[in-house]
Amino acid sequence: MANANVRVRFCPSPTGNPHVGLVRTALFNWAFARHHGGTLVFRIEDTDAARDSEESYQQLLDAMRWLGLDWDEGPEVGGPHAPYRQSQRMDLYKDVAKKLLEAGHAYYCYCTTEELDERRDAARAAGRPSGYDGTCRELGDEQKAEYERQGREPIVRFRMPDEPITFTDLVRGEMTFTPENVPDYGIVRANGAPLYTLVNPVDDALMEITHVLRGEDLLSSTPRQIALYRALAEIGVGNGTTPDFGHLPYVMGEGNKKLSKRDPQSSLNLYRERGFLREGLLNYLSLLGWSLSADQDLFTMDEMVAAFDVKDVNANPARFDLKKCEAINADHIRRLDPKAFIDACTPWLRAPHANWAEEKFDQAAWEAIAPHAQTRLTVLSDITANVDFLFLDEPVEDEASWAKAMKEGSDALLRTARAKLAEADWNADALKAAVVAAGEEHGLKLGKAQAPVRVAVTGRTVGLPLFESLEILGRERTLARVDATLAKLGA
């Protein structure tokens, strides 16, 4: 059922390169918003100056644009809760921290790191919960004054309620966290810098977020945040409600380990460079925890949006399977309208990808071969090597292919094939008949007979359908390449 009140957010920190886990989170939020006709807020959590970078920020925007995951509020588009970069909202967070302190929901904690470590180790040794022990919860004025005299600079700590926190996760069902497991936590650094633990829920409250869909790794911070929302409601920050939470399953990589940001397989840029289609990549990523139906892996984003419900997300870890990702992408390439395929390949037919001089490119030859490539490509970047024989003066020299195809007797076979090709009508069927006939004369099946011809003409043992390739390359160039190969074999 549509619900235009739905407000979800995608709120990455601009560190490093965008990765597939991040894209999956963005996609699920986007699909949920679009399904309901609601709002996707794009917020940049850039409060950690040491780790955040402008370059990452630009890459995030660029990635979202490329993926077609459009947002309704956020950078570049603005919105009623602007600014959407947390680095520009610092005063607001400081103000909220002050109000939390005044209302007693937070307190100054003067403990030094050494003291905290010592008490934590002692608690561990005694088998007690090892989180913050509440030492500074009820400090008297005199004690505070003493700490100040010692030059201690306090952090601000949020006071967790003493009762359990229960919520119903949209993916995982009811979850309960007991107070021993959720100790009081820092929300402002000693230098006055607000922490993620504060600014993330504060912005969700101010931006009136209704559903928080994010990775399972953040599950343990949810009870803390729920307590903070309740406190914010009491002090009148936001609209007084707590969002619903849905924690998306982990994505596992090789060896059943969590796919890490540093895993090369997880870099979005890599998929773009290899020529994945956005629809193919998004289709595959949507399967990491969700499915359209048991028997349909292949679908469009419109179909996903129509069907998406976070309640259908599976709580079990999802396995990232590159082969499957490629297969789905290949399916999407096949589904492209022929003209769209031709256009989509264009970047890979130019510098820096193309290994031929620009003026050697022949649009008519490309359009003639394109349908044969469209049914065979896994990723668009493979197009370059598949068609370079058309645009290079001489085919590439691939030693492995040469070694594989050029056996004893290949020169004799090629001589016969050359003679028959020279007499054939120049169309794929006749060219095939010529090579079949040449093979028969030498006791070779078509597969064996065509290998040296293919290597002579394209430079490689594998490629697009050979006889269509020869037809498009033309009689003169084909025969010249066979001649050159014969000369080389004779030498």
Active site residues: 261
Strands (E), 80-129: 106-109
- Span from 9-17, 152-160, 228-236, 456-464 in contact with ligand GLU (CB under 6 A): 9-17
Burial environment of residue 197 by CB neighbours within 10 A (0 to 12, 13 to 18, 19 or more): middle
Q: Are 470 and 428 a contacting pair, CB within 8 Å?
A: yes
Q: What is the dihedral of CA 230, 232, 233, 238, to 10 degrees?
A: -130
In angstroms, give the least distance from the CB of 329 to ligand GLU: 26
In angstroms, give the least distance from the CB of 287 to ligand GLU: 21
Residue 106, φ and ψ in degrees, nearest 5: -140, 160
Question: C-alpha angle 32/287/285, rounded to 5°?
Answer: 80
The interface with ligand GLU within residues 88-147 (CB under 6 A) comprises: none
Amino acid at 214: R
- Span from 7-15, 177-185, 275-283, 476-484 in contact with ligand GLU (CB under 6 A): 7-15
Q: Which one of residues 6, 7, 8, 13 is an interface residue with ligand GLU (CB under 6 A)?
A: 13
Q: In what order do the strands lie in the sheet with 244-248?
A: 39-42, 7-10, 211-215, 244-248
Residue with tokens 């033309």, as numbered in its chain? 474
Residue 135 site contact among ligand GLU, Zn ion, none (CB < 5 to 8 Å, cut-off depends on kind): Zn ion
Residue 218 site contact among Zn ion, ligand GLU, none (CB < 5 to 8 Å, cut-off depends on kind): ligand GLU
3-class SS at 93? helix
Residue 111 site contact among Zn ion, ligand GLU, none (CB < 5 to 8 Å, cut-off depends on kind): Zn ion
Q: Is the CB of 48 or the CB of 133 nearer to ligand GLU? A: 48
* H or E stretch at 114: helix 113-125
Binding-residue pattern over the window 97 to 136 for Zn ion, x denoting contact by CB under 5 A:
------------x-x-----------------------xx
- Span from 6-14, 226-234, 241-249, 355-363 in contact with ligand GLU (CB under 6 A): 6-14
Binding-residue pattern over the window 45 to 84 for ligand GLU, x denoting contact by CB under 6 A:
x---------------------------------------
Is residue 232 close enough to count as binding Zn ion by CB under 5 A?
no
- Span from 5-13, 123-131, 329-337, 399-407 in contact with ligand GLU (CB under 6 A): 5-13
* H or E stretch at 233: helix 222-234
Q: Is the CB of 19 or the CB of 454 nearer to ligand GLU? A: 19
Q: Are 248 and 24 a contacting pair, CB within 8 Å?
A: yes
Q: Which one of residues 6, 7, 8, 11 is an interface residue with ligand GLU (CB under 6 A)?
A: 11
DSSP, residue by residue, 438-457: HHHHTT--HHHHHHHHHHHH
3-class SS at 2? coil
In angstroms, give the least distance from the CB of 110 to Zn ion: 6
Closest CA to 37 of 316, 430, 306: 306
Residue 109 site contact among ligand GLU, Zn ion, none (CB < 5 to 8 Å, cut-off depends on kind): Zn ion
The interface with ligand GLU within residues 200-219 (CB under 6 A) comprises: 200, 214, 218
In angstroms, give the least distance from the CB of 242 to Zn ion: 27
* H or E stretch at 248: strand 244-248
| List of residues contacting Zn ion (CB under 5 A) | 109, 111, 135-136
| List of residues contacting ligand GLU (CB under 6 A) | 11-13, 45, 200, 214, 218
